[in-house]
Structure 1
Amino acid sequence: MAHFNFENELNSILRMDGPLSRGPGMRKPKTDCNQSVNSSLNSSTTAKTPMKNLNRSLGPGKTPSKTPKSGGKPKTPGKAPKTPNAGDRFIPNRGATQFDLGHFKIMNNTTDNKDDELLSPSQKEYQRVMAENLNGTDVMENKIISYKQKAPAAPDGHQSNLRVLYSACKNPSSAMKKTLRVIPQVPERILDAPDILDDYYLNLLDWSCNNLLAVCLGGSVYLWNAASGEINQLLQMENQDDYIGAVSWVKEGNYLAVGTSNGDVQLWDTAVSKRLRNMTGHASRVGSLSWNSYILSSGSRSGAIHHHDVRVPQHHVGTLMGHTQEVCGLKWSPDGKFLASGGNDNLLNIWSNQFDASADTAPLYSFTQHQAAVKAVAWCPWQPSIVASGGGTADRHIRFWNCNTGLCVQSVDTKSQVCSILWSKEHRELISSHGFALNQLSIWKYPQLTKVAELTGHTARVLHMAMSPDGQTVVSAGADETLRLWKCFAQDEQKKKVQKSVGKEKSSLSLSSIR
Structure 2
Amino acid sequence: MQTDVARKRRNHLFQREPDTHVTSYKRFRTWLSHKHSRESPAVSTPLSTGRRCGPNFELDDVVQRLELDSPSRFHAAAQRVVYQESTLILGNSSRPPKAQCIPNSGRYSVMFNVPEQEWIWIEHKGGDAQSTEIQSDPRPFSVLSTSVASPLGNSTLKLAAPSLVNDYYTHLLDYSCNGILALALDSSVYIWNSETRSLLGRLDPSPETGRKRRQTVSCVRWSGDGHVLSIGTRRGEVQLWDVERRQNVKTLPSHLSVVRALSWKQQLLSSGSTLGHIHHNDPRAPSPLVGTVIQQEGLCSLQWSPGGEWLASGSADGLLHIWDRDVTGSHRPVATMKQPSAVKAMGWCPWKGNVIATGGGWKDGQLRIWDIESATCVGSADTNSQICSLGWAEVTRRLVTGHGHPHHNAICWDLEFPSLRPAFHLTGHSRRILHVALNNDAGQLFTAGADQCLHMWDMSFPQSLLS
Mapped pair 1:285 → 2:254: no
The CA distance in 1 between the partners of 2:283 and 2:245, in whole Å, is 18
1:471 is displaced (CA, Å) by 5.0
User: Match of 1:477?
Assistant: 448
User: Match of 1:343?
Assistant: 315
Contact 2:300/2:343 (<8 A) preserved: yes
The CA distance in 2 between the partners of 1:241 and 1:345, in whole Å, is 30
1:262 is displaced (CA, Å) by 1.1
The CA distance in 2 between the partners of 1:334 and 1:283, in whole Å, is 29
Contact 1:263/1:280 (<8 A) preserved: no
1:425 is displaced (CA, Å) by 1.4
Structure 1: gaps (5+ residues): 1-180, 494-515
User: Match of 1:367?
Assistant: 337
Please list the CA deviations of residues 174-193 of structure 1 after superposition, one character each: whole Å capped at 9, or x if unmatched: xxxxxxx9623310001100
The one-letter amino acid of 2:219's match is A
User: Match of 2:437?
Assistant: 466
User: Match of 1:266?
Assistant: 239
Please list the CA deviations of residues 469-498 of structure 1 after superposition, one character each: whole Å capped at 9, or x if unmatched: 5150100000000000011244679xxxxx
1:323 is displaced (CA, Å) by 3.7
The structure 2 residue matched to 1:185, chosen from 134, 153, 156, is 153
1:426 is displaced (CA, Å) by 2.0
Q: Structure 1 vs Structure 2: percent identity of aligned residues?
A: 38
User: Match of 2:194?
Assistant: 226
The CA distance in 2 between the partners of 1:452 and 1:492, in whole Å, is 9
- 1:471/1:398 CA distance change after superposition, 3 Å: farther
Contact 1:219/1:240 (<8 A) preserved: no
The structure 2 residue matched to 1:321, chosen from 285, 294, 318, is 294
Please list the CA deviations of residues 98-138 of structure 1 after superposition, one character each: whole Å capped at 9, or x if unmatched: xxxxxxxxxxxxxxxxxxxxxxxxxxxxxxxxxxxxxxxxx
User: Match of 1:441?
Assistant: 410
1:93-492 equivalences in 2 (<5 Å): 183-238=151-206, 239-325=212-298, 327-356=299-328, 359=330, 361-368=331-338, 370-447=339-416, 448-490=419-461
TM value normalised by structure 2: 0.64
Contact 2:153/2:458 (<8 A) preserved: no
The CA distance in 2 between the partners of 1:458 and 1:441, in whole Å, is 9
The CA distance in 1 between the partners of 2:152 and 2:463, in whole Å, is 15
Contact 2:172/2:219 (<8 A) preserved: yes
Q: Secondary structure at the match of 1:449?
A: strand
> Where do 4+ consecutive residues of structure 1 move more than 6 Å?
none
User: Match of 1:496?
Assistant: none
Q: Secondary structure at the match of 1:444?
A: strand
Structure 2: gaps (5+ residues): 1-148, 207-211
- 1:469/1:424 CA distance change after superposition, 3 Å: closer
Contact 1:207/1:469 (<8 A) preserved: no
- 1:306/1:486 CA distance change after superposition, 3 Å: same
Please list the CA deviations of residues 372-416 of structure 1 after superposition, one character each: whole Å capped at 9, or x if unmatched: 111111111111110001121111111111122222111111111
1:194 is displaced (CA, Å) by 0.5
The CA distance in 1 between the partners of 2:461 and 2:266, in whole Å, is 29
1:311 is displaced (CA, Å) by 1.2
Q: How many residues align?
A: 310
The CA distance in 2 between the partners of 1:479 and 1:219, in whole Å, is 16
The CA distance in 1 between the partners of 2:261 and 2:442, in whole Å, is 22
The one-letter amino acid of 2:337's match is F
1:233 is displaced (CA, Å) by 2.9
- 1:428/1:210 CA distance change after superposition, 3 Å: closer
- 1:290/1:193 CA distance change after superposition, 3 Å: same
- 1:307/1:439 CA distance change after superposition, 3 Å: same
The one-letter amino acid of 1:221's match is V
The CA distance in 1 between the partners of 2:195 and 2:398, in whole Å, is 26
- 1:260/1:283 CA distance change after superposition, 3 Å: same
Please list the CA deviations of residues 304-353 of structure 1 after superposition, one character each: whole Å capped at 9, or x if unmatched: 1111111102111111212422x221111111101111121211111111
1:428 is displaced (CA, Å) by 2.9
The CA distance in 1 between the partners of 2:462 and 2:393, in whole Å, is 11
The CA distance in 2 between the partners of 1:345 and 1:404, in whole Å, is 22
Please list the CA deviations of residues 16-65 of structure 1 after superposition, one character each: whole Å capped at 9, or x if unmatched: xxxxxxxxxxxxxxxxxxxxxxxxxxxxxxxxxxxxxxxxxxxxxxxxxx
More helix by share: 1
The one-letter amino acid of 1:429's match is R
The one-letter amino acid of 2:358's match is S
The one-letter amino acid of 2:387's match is V
C-alpha RMSD of the superposition: 1.9
1:251 is displaced (CA, Å) by 0.9
The one-letter amino acid of 1:298's match is S
The CA distance in 2 between the partners of 1:240 and 1:492, in whole Å, is 50
Q: Secondary structure at the match of 2:300?
A: strand
